[in-house]
Amino acid sequence: MAFSFLRILTYVLGLVGTSLLLPLGIAIWKDETSAIPAFLVPMLSGWGVAITFWLRAHSRPRVFDVQHAFGTVGGIWIAICLFGALPLYFSGCFPSFTDAVFESVSGFTTTGASVLSDVERLPISVNLWRCETHWLGGLGVIALAVALIPLLGIGGFRLIKAETTGPDKAKLTSLIANTAKMLWFIYMTLTAVQAFLLWHVGMEAVDALAHAFSTMGTGGFSTRNASVGAFGLPTAEWICTAFMLLASVNFTLYYRVLTGRFGEVSRDSELRTLLALVFCAVAFATAVECSSWSEIGTTLRSVAFQVASIISTTGFMTDDYLTWRPAAQVVIFILFFVGGSSGSTAGGIKVIRWTILGKQLRNELRRILHPHEVFTLSINGCSGREAFVPVVASFVFVYMLLVLATTLAGALAGLDVFTAFTGALSMVGNVGPAFGGLGPTSNYGALAAPLKWFYMFAMLAGRLEIYTLLILVGRTCFLRNHALFCRTSEKSSEGRHVCFSSGRERARSYELDPHSCGHEDRACIETAVKVGSTEDK
């Protein structure tokens, strides 16, 4: 299985290396000679390892079970973050490799938390690469690989499930590769439309493309220190507001619109809840912040932008919400707990989970008042969805547990409690800015190196919905219950090679096809571990 992981990893690295062509071309065009090797060397290296594995192993079978899919996705995301840090570090724009990796992790996870205080001093090509990492990580690098590389078709659905967000993950089409292609086509189309609109209203072409990358990826990196507000273009702010909200909507809804299934879109519980939250937040904060009717237009634009930025976890800023009135700041603080829709590029807990918990709470209150009646949980017009409740509740519990652990790490590093807590919410929710010393006008450059590495783990865990990264590093799954090893010299009574479990529980065997246990060049019988069974013989 290790060979299969390396093969998929090299293909993805080759794909990420190909994406370096864009900033490399900008570096050549803008005559940024110092940045050219920074992009050229990693690009050629990525191509080299990908071609090598392609020539050696393109005909070998590829099968991913659940545990290997989670491990593969987690390992690939760590690797591409390290790979993406190479151009940043080689460019000489970052003082240490830790800072370069932090910026890369923040980019690919679409967090947008930067260690830089002055991004305008960076070469244009480096700034574009920072924003492009948002775009690559937004919809998912592995989803892009499944769409473009036919070899990833086998087991591709498991890989995408381990990378995508939300409690309900399903295919749009019968083939997962076609699903990935359709989603990426919608993603690229929206990005192109926004880039054109931003260019049309006055942004330079590179700035428009960079901010389209960041907006659709819900990342937040900008080519200006003052973010979108630096351009002084109110129309551009409204465009970014609209596309931040579009990026926080489940992308499967756009597919349903294209196929004429408007009824399914109108019945979508998550979309209706998201729109209601945005409307209430904007209306309340605008009412609090607006001091006169003459300022209502400016106030509405500023509030709408900040609300869209936080609920979509983009992190763009045109105003410092720390200077707002306390009641309006509370609105922003609450949105840190929400996030966008499942199946979108946004981070956070996701609106659908709060919708499910809210409806379950309503049913519990009804049962108290009417103990003899039967109540069901309805999502998207479909009843009987109670099975989602324990799944959602356990996720929210683990999510908040990670937030508390990250808060403790920040407090140990010297941050005050509120800054540490909101910083943890920002890291795990992939928001970017926080409150206190990590507010929208601050950066993460002054943090201690150990805290930066912990924040990197939190950002990756949040982007992969926690479970993927926990399974990758968890001792229980890989070293006790699900670790497998092959005894190549032993055979079963039928003369077949046998794959034994290293777990301590008694197990029973199931005959599978060759390679199905994930060990190359052997026909094995996988041992399924029965948790809680009798002791080993």
Amino acid letter, 117: S
DSSP one-letter string for 263-300: HHHHT-HHHHHHHHHHHHHHHHHHHHH--SGGGHHHHH
CA end-to-end distance (rounded Å), the chain:
28
- SS3 for 68-125 is HHHHHHHHHHHHHHHHHHHHHHHCCCCCCHHHHHHHHHHHHCCCCCCCCCCHHHCCHH
CB distance 222 to 316 below 8 Å? yes
CB distance 515 to 497 below 8 Å? no
Residues 6 or more apart in contact with residue 198 via CB below 8 angstroms: 207, 208, 211, 212, 236, 239, 240
Distance CA 85, CA 101 (A): 5
Distance CA 526, CA 523 (A): 10
Residues 6 or more apart in contact with residue 114 via CB below 8 angstroms: 103, 106, 221, 443, 444, 445
From residue 488, alpha-carbon distances to 2, 74, 523 in Å are 16, 28, 10
CB distance 212 to 194 below 8 Å? yes
Return the residue matching tokens 């060759």: 514
Return the residue matching tokens 């690229």: 188
Nearest to 430 by CA among 275, 277, 312, 305: 312
Domain boundaries, the chain: 2-179, 351-470, 475-529
Nearest to 425 by CA among 443, 402, 444, 442: 402
| Per-residue pLDDT at 161 | 57
Label the pairing between strands 497-501 and 484-491.
antiparallel
| Per-residue pLDDT at 385 | 76
What Rg, from alpha-carbon coordinates, does the chain have?
24
CB distance 462 to 105 below 8 Å? no
| Local confidence pLDDT in tens for the 537 residues of the chain | 566 677 788 888 988 999 999 999 999 999 999 899 999 999 999 999 888 877 776 555 555 555 666 777 888 889 999 999 999 999 999 989 999 999 999 999 999 999 999 999 999 999 999 999 999 998 877 676 665 555 444 455 555 555 555 555 555 555 666 777 888 899 999 999 999 999 999 999 999 999 999 999 999 999 999 999 999 999 999 999 999 999 999 998 998 998 888 888 988 999 999 999 999 999 999 999 988 888 899 999 999 999 999 999 999 999 999 999 999 999 999 999 999 998 889 999 999 999 999 999 998 999 898 888 888 888 887 777 788 888 899 999 999 999 999 999 999 999 999 999 999 999 999 999 999 999 999 999 999 999 999 999 999 999 888 877 777 666 444 444 444 444 333 333 344 433 433 333 333 333 333 344 444 333 333 333 333 333 333
The distance between the two most distant Cα atoms of the chain, rounded to a whole number of Å, is 87
| Per-residue pLDDT at 197 | 97
Distance CA 446, CA 343 (A): 34
Q: How far is CA 63 from the centre of its chain?
A: 24
Distance CA 136, CA 142 (A): 9
CB distance 506 to 530 below 8 Å? yes
Nearest to 245 by CA among 197, 310, 295, 185: 310
| Per-residue pLDDT at 537 | 34
Distance CA 92, CA 425 (A): 31
Residues 6 or more apart in contact with residue 447 via CB below 8 angstroms: 413, 455
DSSP one-letter string for 248-263: TS-HHHHHHHHTT-HH
CB distance 456 to 101 below 8 Å? yes
Enumerate long-range contacts of 421-425, CB under 8 Å, 24 or more apart.
422/333, 422/336, 423/455, 424/458, 425/336, 425/337
Distance CA 404, CA 427 (A): 12
